[in-house]
């Protein structure tokens, strides 16, 4: 996930006699999180420009080197279709019947009436195109309903008009569902009933310019049969058994697969291969279980009063971070940017989630960083991509040292608070080694005294200690005999 920031001039309603230059002084600073298939607004607020005149619409990537150039260009093109006072809350890429065309679904809000939102369907003629058109305008009313369609997508019914959308990945589907439910709740609170409000949607209806092929695809209702209730003849006991197996296998798939690059159809195919039966009758169950698992991954898990474990999405949720009194963020990834460097104290451990990665040599520093957050009276979020392996291992190491817990105790506590926690095999081995290091530290303070009480000579006690040191040095170094690891064990003893 990378961060992209843009500044746009926003038009503000003014009285007829108000000087025109005043309008050019207000800028909107918007930051977007870019992942494959999705663009998420992480706006902190609006800022007033320093100049009397402002150039409207420009792109300014803060950490743009790792962001997809295609996504940046697409975002720029889509925002150019919006009125200055409107904002893209979320953009997700959808599947298309055409192998060439690219489709996005935008959730758009407006500055003046924040309880109102609408959906825009955007069409690009090709992946490398810098121009796009509007193909669908769907207002979000207080009666709008959103459902999983049981076939890897979801339906939106608004003012008796239903449309089916199929995002390109599980992660993008989860993101858009959460955003849509939020829009629906705001519409209910604001009493945005059909035919009342959303006058600004007319601007976009008048600018629908996609060609007929695109319009047909936006209007198509294919896939509706997938929302019908299953009528299979399986016995209830057999179905319950299959559903239990699906749930277990699904959790394993979602822990190990990149959810930005896999669709629910691909998950269903994988389940068919693992379980050995046709999953046609279980489409709806699979989609619902995926969303349950995503919900567990979506919110940060409170491990201790001051310590949260979460995902990249939690790291990009400014409102959630403030609500949890987070002042420190430990980013244990190579691929994810720091989203709010001006607002939080960051520490970065730039590593990948592979078994060969050396995390052990960082755990003294991460322990001190988490301790600094605790002493400050603020909370800390430790995150990686999904809060499953890298960041989880780092938090387990902290718990073992801070709480004096065994590896099993720390791991059990973590899984009670966040069931999806699963360090990779390489990290588990390093945690076992770290456990030995912590035990050896305790031995040097306590158990050597017991050895002496038992009649062991001081020279023999120190010899035992030195042998343990050499053993731990070899175990900690393994194939990564680095000075940092050697220092780590030496300091512990």
Catalytic residues: 384
Structural contact between residues 400 and 410, judged by C-beta atoms closer than 8 angstroms: yes
- Report how far apart, in Å, the C-alpha atoms of 151 and of each of 104, 147, 346 are: 19, 11, 40
Which candidate, 426, 425, 432, 390, places its Cα nearest to that of 410? Answer: 432
Report the Cα–Cα distance between both ends of the chain, in Å, rounded.
39
- CA angle centred on 153, ends 169 and 204, rounded to 5°: 95
For residue 480, what are the contacts with CB-CB under 8 A and spacing of at least 6?
A: 358, 361
Structural contact between residues 121 and 68, judged by C-beta atoms closer than 8 angstroms: no
Local structure of 197: helix, strand or coil: coil
CA–CA separation, 327 and 347 (whole Å): 12
CA–CA separation, 380 and 377 (whole Å): 10
Task: Give the strand pairing for 379-383 and 345-348.
Answer: unpaired
CA–CA separation, 278 and 408 (whole Å): 38
For residue 323, what are the contacts with CB-CB under 8 A and spacing of at least 6?
A: none
Evaluated on CA atoms 475, 480, 481, 485, the torsion sign reads: negative
Which candidate, 418, 188, 195, places its Cα nearest to that of 293? Answer: 418
Evaluated on CA atoms 472, 473, 479, 483, the torsion sign reads: positive
CA–CA separation, 378 and 328 (whole Å): 7
């Amino acid at each position: 996930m990378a961060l992209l920031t843009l500044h746009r001039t926003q038009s503000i309603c003014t009285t007829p006699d108000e000087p025109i230059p005043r309008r050019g002084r207000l800028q909107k600073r918007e930051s977007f999180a870019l992942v494959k298939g999705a663009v998420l607004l992480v706006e902190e607020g609006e800022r007033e420009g320093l100049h009397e005149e402002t150039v409207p619409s420009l792109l300014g990537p803060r950490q743009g080197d790792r962001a997809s150039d295609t996504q940046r260009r697409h975002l720029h093109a889509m925002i150019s279709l919006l009125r200055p006072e409107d904002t893209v809350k979320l953009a997700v890429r959808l599947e298309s019947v055409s192998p060439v065309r690219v489709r996005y679904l935008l959730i758009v809000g407006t500055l003046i009436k924040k309880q109102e939102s609408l959906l825009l369907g955007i069409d690009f003629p090709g992946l490398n195109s810098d121009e796009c058109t509007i193909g669908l305008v769907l207002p979000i009313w207080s009666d709008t309903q959103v459902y999983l369609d049981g076939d890897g997508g979801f339906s939106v019914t608004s003012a008796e008009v239903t449309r089916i959308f199929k995002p390109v990945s599980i992660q993008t589907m989860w993101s858009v569902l959460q955003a849509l439910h939020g829009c629906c709740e705001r519409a209910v609170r604001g009493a945005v009933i059909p035919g009342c409000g959303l006058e600004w949607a007319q601007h976009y209806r008048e600018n629908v310019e996609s060609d007929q092929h695109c319009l047909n695809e936006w209007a198509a209702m294919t896939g509706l049969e997938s929302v019908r209730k299953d009528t299979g003849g399986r016995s209830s006991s057999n179905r319950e058994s299959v559903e239990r197996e699906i749930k277990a296998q699904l959790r394993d798939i979602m822990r190990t697969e990149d959810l930005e690059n896999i669709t629910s159809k691909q998950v269903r195919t994988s389940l068919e291969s693992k379980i050995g039966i046709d999953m046609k009758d279980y489409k709806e169950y699979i989609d619902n279980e995926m969303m349950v698992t995503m919900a567990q991954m979506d919110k940060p898990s409170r491990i201790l009063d001051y310590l949260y474990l979460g995902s990249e999405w939690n790291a990009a949720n400014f409102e959630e971070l403030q609500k949890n009194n987070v002042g420190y963020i430990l980013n244990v990834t190579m691929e994810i940017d720091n989203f709010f460097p001006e607002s939080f104290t960051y520490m970065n451990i730039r590593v990948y989630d592979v078994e060969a990665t050396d995390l052990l040599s960082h755990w003294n520093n991460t322990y001190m960083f988490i301790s600094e957050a605790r002493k400050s009276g603020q909370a800390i979020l430790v995150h990686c991509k999904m809060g499953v392996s890298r960041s989880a291992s780092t938090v387990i190491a902290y718990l073992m040292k801070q709480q004096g817990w065994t590896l099993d105790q720390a791991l059990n506590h973590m899984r009670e608070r966040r069931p999806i926690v699963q360090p990779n095999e390489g990290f588990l081995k390093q945690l076992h080694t770290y456990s030995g290091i912590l035990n050896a530290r305790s031995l040097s303070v306590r158990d050597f005294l017991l050895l002496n009480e038992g009649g062991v000579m001081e020279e023999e006690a120190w010899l035992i200690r030195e042998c343990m040191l050499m053993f731990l040095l070899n175990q900690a170094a393994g194939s990564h005999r680095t000075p940092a690891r050697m220092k780590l064990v030496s300091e512990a003893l």
